[in-house]
Amino acid sequence: MMSADNHHPVIYIIGDSTAAEKSDFQNNPERGWGMVLQGFFTEDVTVSNHAVNGRSSKSFIDEGRWQKVLDELKPGDYVVIQFGHNDSKPSPDRHTDPGTTFDANLERYVNETRAKGATPILMSPVARRSFYNVVDTVTEDEALRSVAYGDEKINSDTLVDTHGKYRLSASNVARRLNVAYVDANAITTRIEQQYGIQGSRYLHMWLKPDECAAIPKGRKDNTHYNIYGARVVAGALADAIGEVIPELKPYIRHYDSVVSTQGRGNHLTLQEAINALHSGRTYKILVLDGTWKTPKIPKGVKVEIDKYSSVQIQ
């Protein structure tokens, strides 16, 4: 996997809150799919997530965030480009139009990535969870964190698209410029549909009052993922990346549990991951970081533990 100069390949992610890093991960279960993507790769590949809440393809450039990624890019790296959730917002600092300014920004990302000898991967925006066929085009995604838990309007048994033409831009640019493309919108639409109207809530930040101490009023958020949902989506997108970038496919892994002190898995401690297991089959756990005491494994529980080389289990 190393290039001629022994460069360790990096997958950079640029995008919005659906992929972004999240603060207060010890207390708040919100996760971006990019935050947990590292747990689906061996340590031969590094995921560097630069996605940020609320950003569009325009504001990510205007704020200098893209330049910071460009300055780090090296030949042999990859850049996952996923925008669309905020480009439709009316505010002039973020708004772009599909077919013109949105496409132009995506083309810029592609061309400047290639100029650095790296490989671009375009993604359509992930789907919002919506089973209501009169789409709310006013609600600001970031404001959903203050919407308390409650009933929702449902009048469709199939997921309703909320992105319109924005979901087509990445595909159109990929076709014009011959770029690797992942239809994340189609992938996540299938996932939402498979989980169903009720089950798909468990992918998102749907919390009942007092279910999470940090969010005492609960939350009804159909855009942002919880820990479980982020890992479901990240696993599906990792597989899709492996299909369009075959050289990455040998480094993709799937584990029952991923342990990370930085919130990049579904458990913060190794013993917590062990305690969640049951007898009946062999579980596989990946430990991404940290120094740990040898865990106590309950009788009857079978587990295989893989770890990155920097991890110590004493």
- What are the sequence ranges of the domains in the chain? 10-140+159-195+224-254, 270-313
Contact in structure between 81 and 123 (CB atoms under 8 Å):
yes
Instruction: Give pLDDT tens digits for 11-33.
Output: 999 999 999 999 999 999 999 99
Asked whether the predicted pLDDT for residue 70 surpasses 60, the reply is yes
Least confident of 136-140, 145-149, 174-178, 269-273: 136-140
Question: Which pLDDT tens digit goes with each residue over 195-230?
Answer: 999 999 999 999 999 999 999 999 999 999 999 999
Using the CB atoms, write b or e for 284-303: b if 16+ within 10 Å: ebbbbbbebeebeeeeeeeb
Strand partners, 37: none
Q: What is the pLDDT of residue 135?
A: 60
Task: Please give the residue that has the higher pLDDT: either 105 or 5.
Answer: 105
Please tell me the distance from the alpha carbon of residue 24 to that of residue 22, in angstroms, as a whole number: 7
Q: Who has greater pLDDT, 308 or 6?
A: 308
Q: What's the Rg (C-alpha) of the chain?
A: 20
Would the pLDDT of 4 be above 60? no
| Mean pLDDT to the nearest integer, 70-87 | 98
pLDDT value of residue 97? 98
Count the Cβ atoms, other than its own, within 10 Å of residue 115.
Answer: 10
pLDDT score recorded for residue 141: 72
Q: List the structure tokens of 125.
A: 């925006």
Q: What is the mean pLDDT of residues 46-59?
A: 98
| pTM for the whole structure | 0.94
The size of the chain, in residues, is: 314
The pLDDT mean for the chain works out to 94
Across the range 24-50, mean pLDDT stands at: 97
Any idea which of 155-159, 190-194, 283-287 has the lowest mean pLDDT?
A: 155-159
The predicted pLDDT at position 152 comes to 83
- For 288-294, which contacts have Cβ atoms below 8 Å and span 24 or more sequence positions? 288/38, 288/39, 288/258, 288/259, 288/260, 288/262, 288/264, 289/260, 289/261, 289/262, 289/264, 290/259, 290/260, 290/261
Whether the per-residue pLDDT at 67 is higher than 60: the answer is: yes
Residue 296: pLDDT over 70: yes
Q: Is the pLDDT of residue 2 over 80?
A: no
Centroid of chain to Cα 143: 19
Alpha-carbon gap, residue 176 to 56, rounded angstroms: 22
- Contact 263/282 with Cβ under 8 angstroms? no
CA gap 93, 154 in Å, rounded:
33
Q: Tell me the average pLDDT across 271-278.
A: 96
Write out pLDDT tens, residues 126-138.
999 999 887 655 5
What angle do the packed helices 65-72 and 101-115 form, to 10 degrees?
20
Range 10-140+159-195+224-254 has CATH code 3.40.1190.10: no
| pLDDT of amino acid 10 | 98
Q: Tell me, what DSSP letter sits at residue 144? A: G
